[in-house]
Amino acid sequence: MKRAELLKMGEDAIKAVKLPFKIRKEKKNLESWVLDYEEKVATLESEINDCKADENLNVDRILDKVDDLELAQRRLRQGEELMKELFDGE
């Protein structure tokens, strides 16, 4: 579209043209966030198993990692729910 045409459209019309791209970008960002938390959960699960198999059992370290895991799982569920709420059906 030529600049003169864009200027005639006005600011609201330009925003309307850009809106679908903005929404797709936001959805991709949230998908990336969810993927990062899935990786975080998997990493914490592996770290907990490593701590349990350690030669010197450190209960506090294991329980700290379990707390971190539970928080990460909760945040992941919340992110997935937010994804469904904001973008389900798109």
CA distance 14 to 42: 43
CB atoms within 10 A of CB 14: 13
- Measure the CA–CA gap between 23 and 8, rounded to whole angstroms: 24
Per residue in 18-63, pLDDT tens? 888 999 999 999 999 999 999 999 999 999 999 999 999 999 999 9
Average pLDDT in the chain: 92
